[in-house]
Structure 1
Amino acid sequence: MKHLTLIIAALCFSTLFYQQQIGLNLSLFSIISIGILWWHNKSKFKNQRTIIYATIYLVTAVLVFIHGSALSVFVNLFSFFTLVGSVSSNKNAIYVQWINGLYSVIAGYFQRRFDAPKTTEVSTTKKDIDIIHWIKLIGIPLVFVIIFMLLYKNGNPIFEDLITEINFDFINMQWILLTVLGYFLFNNINQPVTVEPATTLDSNTSNLLIESENTSEEKNKKDNQLGTTLLAFLNVLIIFYIITDATYLLTNIVDTANHLSTQVHNGINALIASIIIAILTILFFFRGDLNFYKKNKTTKQLSYLWIGLNIILIVLISIKNYQYVSAFGFTYKRLGVFAYLLLTFSGLITTFIKVFKIKNLWYLFRINTQVAFAICIMSATVNWDYSITKYNINNAKVLDLNYLIHLKGNNAKLLQTYAVQYKLSDRTTTRINKKWDKHNQELLNRDWQAYSLENFTNMSKSK
């Protein structure tokens, strides 16, 4: 029964993806994958965390059907690894589940065979049909017969004439290979495996720091003095920088894209250096026994102050980037700046928690990978090509139509409406109309496996 379900799933896999773009097929594949995982690991799906990851995986597949963006496909792939890794071991950090999921997809079957017990099983009176044996019994001789028929036909003209009468066009090796790949994939993930010792090490490692038995009072005192001095100077420096940056922001009117771009990029470069130095410096001083030193209050307060000042720096950069967007509209790079700022804000907050609650480096890595994954999932819910185009048309003071035309085709209708409302050059109007025609033609040429929500929307409108 197990092999039969995997073979059916493999046939569905090749039917869904053979010579097809990504669309509805990914949603159907997600349902099949969840079904295979549930069928062979029912007890694991009683865990709430696994159910949540299965739901996230299914939602991201639906987002691919709705938007079809590269980001949604990327997030769906990572959600797939997360779900498979959760089934293998649901108590681990998310990055370990990614590792386990990826490893299971690539080598799950071989790992299970390697770890299988060598004891001989006692035979039972009732035996299941050996599907693999029948495939070998039929498939291997068939392959060899075809190979030798092709060889023999070159040695005998009469035999060649007979062979040429047989039409082998119905045999599609690419489809067969894709089916084999699908079987290999489902056979790997039906019982996910774990990567050792990474999985066990992660399970046995706490988020809390523990004071060492041979702690040195003198060493802690010196580290505390160095930390207090260094953090005091760095706080003074960043305060001076923030005051000058805020003054410049309030007293200068920027009216060119290059000027704003320089401000934002220079600010980001300063932010990158500042955040990295801030986190690494704090982690260096609070990596061990200084956390338990009774006279570390000043050093901790200076650390908290520096974290707060870096957050103010994030706010200033956000304002600059917002000014940039307000004047010249959204681009993926400007969205990337906001995403980076959100990630650095998360890093600073978790660093504060690490110092305040005496956490270790494992805690930072675990929580920040979860935050990054959550941000990616939230980002995938937005159709960015369409949203960028709509915002820029309605709000940008300087509209870069050339950039919008080069975005994905699902913004073509917005551009065409804009071209009708406003007098554009003949060249620009022609480019927009070509984009619209090309996008519609692509939708019409899709098979049902690659359908997106837009296909069904257009069908309903045509009716």
Structure 2
Amino acid sequence: MKTYRYIFLTTALFTILFYEESIGLNLGILGIIYAVLTLYKTPEKNRIKTFLLLFVTSVLSSIAFAWYADFPSFLAVMISLLLLSYRAKNKRMKILLLIPVVVVNICTFICRFFSFQSWLPKINVSGVGQKLVAFILIPFILLVVFFGIYSVGSNHFANLFANLELTVNLWEIICLSVLGFFIAFNYWNYDVEKYIYQQNHVLNNDFGEKDRIQKASYLFMELDVERMSGVISFLLLNVLLIFFIITYSYEQFYEVIKTPVQLSEETHEGVNAVVLSIIMAILVIMFYFKGGFNFDSKAKFLMILAKTWIFLNAILVCATLAKNTEYIINYGFTYKRLGVYGFLILSLIGLILTFVKIQKKKRNAYLFNTMTWWLYGTILACSYINWGGIITSQNVKRSDFVFNYHLTSIHFNDKILLKYADEKQDVKLKKQILDKVNKENSGSFLSKILYYETLKK
């Protein structure tokens, strides 16, 4: 099947699935169709392990959106499909280059659309076919488009046709068709500019032969002086970090906290400081180990100090994880407190990867390439797991459980709340939950969220 057929097919499917519907099951169906068509269209040589894994995650993310229809699952579907399409054509291109590819293609959409010879087939049309296109199809499309524009711009013009009973909403069909075509065109017919291709080698994980040459980073500083600067810097930073860990641990674990508000503020301030410290630590290590020092036989002490600093930062992260755990034990689970776990675990992964970078002599690009995949994995985890259910199932065991908060601010926990209402034999609470469920189930089939379908009684 030619590319233009994929474009028109998925445009039609988009219009059909979303016509007079809100986003729900329809996007999940469309995501699966896009993934299957991409697998079918991709040549066998490009179906490498990464591509097949992305195909699986695209299908699972589409199912997750059909089940939850929330922002994390939406983000997971979009990123998974973009990566799938990207890998279908460019199996060796670095993942980070997907961002400029998407931006450039969106900006150049109009120009690429009007380059008909590049994406439409070159065929000889008979005289009758030419007349049908020229005398009927083109005038009809123009008439419909301008009718919609003029109807929006003038109420009197629209009222002239008020007595005409149309069974379809032409304006919605036009808008959906345009949006569906824009998505389909950029998905199936995107280009990677030559300049972007040329930057792919910049993001290689391993050093080249020329990178092994020992040379100073600055004209005003000799190599030996720069190396000693690194040793002094890391030595001082290690001492400073040891003192910070001691004082931070004392403040977090030994000082008496009077109020929950004070505990919350100090925990969040501590987490922010730790995350910023980790980012700065990684940047400093990237600065000193961006090139020749990775292969410098005289830089062994510098490497030891850098690894020690990584280890101390890891201790700091573990201390913060322990404090967040204590906070949750005392005051319960929330989305933000689980988010703190996510940030700290990603920070710890960043430190581990930085250690691997030094140990295995990788380029700085290795950190960006690898961490991007970890971030993608985090998004997938956020979309697949029912965090609201986990939060409520744990908090409902507490004596200070607040029903209204979990009903209005925590999502996809209705089964647990129904069980709670039954145990309390509270008819009013149960009615509140069922009203919410019935409201979610009131939409048409394609707009449904499958999670709420399981709660029908």
Distance 2:23 2:280 in 1: 42
Map 1:297-376; keep pairs closer than 5 Å: 297-376=300-379
Query: Aligned to 1:377, which of 376, 380, 384?
Result: 380
Could you tell me whether the CA contact under 8 Å between 1:260 and 1:320 is conserved in 2? no
State the secondary structure of the residue aligned to 1:445.
coil
Deviations 1:285-322 (A, max 9, x none): 22232333221111110110110000000000001101
Could you tell me whether the CA contact under 8 Å between 1:311 and 1:345 is conserved in 2? yes
Aligned residue number for residue 82 of structure 1: 83
Which range is displaced more, 237-246 or 215-224? 215-224
Could you tell me whether the CA contact under 8 Å between 2:7 and 2:184 is conserved in 1? yes
AA aligned to 2:408 is H
Work out the percentage of aligned pairs sharing the same amino acid. Answer: 25
Describe the shift of the 1:31–1:49 C-alpha distance in structure 2 as closer, same or farther (beyond 3 A): same
Could you tell me whether the CA contact under 8 Å between 1:44 and 1:87 is conserved in 2? no
AA aligned to 2:362 is K
Report the Cα offset of residue 17 of structure 1.
1.6
AA aligned to 2:372 is T
Aligned residue number for residue 190 of structure 1: 188
State the secondary structure of the residue aligned to 1:338.
helix
Report the Cα offset of residue 44 of structure 1.
6.1
Describe the shift of the 1:54–1:207 C-alpha distance in structure 2 as closer, same or farther (beyond 3 A): same
Could you tell me whether the CA contact under 8 Å between 1:18 and 1:178 is conserved in 2? yes
Report the Cα offset of residue 419 of structure 1.
3.8
Report the Cα offset of residue 203 of structure 1.
4.2
Deviations 1:7-65 (A, max 9, x none): 34322211212332332212210122124434544446533322221211111111112
Aligned residue number for residue 27 of structure 1: 28
Map 1:141-220; keep pairs closer than 5 Å: 141-143=139-141, 167-168=165-166, 170=168, 172-203=170-201, 205-209=203-207, 210-211=210-211, 213=213, 215=215, 219-220=222-223
Could you tell me whether the CA contact under 8 Å between 2:212 and 2:295 is conserved in 1? no
Describe the shift of the 1:137–1:115 C-alpha distance in structure 2 as closer, same or farther (beyond 3 A): closer
Unaligned runs of 5+ in 1: 152-161
Describe the shift of the 1:444–1:267 C-alpha distance in structure 2 as closer, same or farther (beyond 3 A): closer
Report the Cα offset of residue 68 of structure 1.
2.4
Which range is displaced more, 34-43 or 316-325? 34-43
Query: Aligned to 1:226, which of 225, 229, 246?
Result: 229
AA aligned to 2:98 is Q
AA aligned to 2:195 is P
Distance 1:87 1:113 in 2: 25
TM-score, normalised relative to structure 1: 0.82
Describe the shift of the 1:397–1:265 C-alpha distance in structure 2 as closer, same or farther (beyond 3 A): farther
Could you tell me whether the CA contact under 8 Å between 1:104 and 1:189 is conserved in 2? no
AA aligned to 2:293 is L
AA aligned to 1:280 is L
Distance 2:133 2:36 in 1: 24
AA aligned to 1:301 is I
Map 1:246-257; keep pairs closer than 5 Å: 246-252=249-255, 256-257=259-260
Could you tell me whether the CA contact under 8 Å between 2:324 and 2:337 is conserved in 1? yes
State the secondary structure of the residue aligned to 2:91.
coil
Aligned pair count reads: 441
Distance 2:172 2:204 in 1: 49
Which range is displaced more, 179-188 or 369-378? 179-188
Unaligned runs of 5+ in 2: 151-159
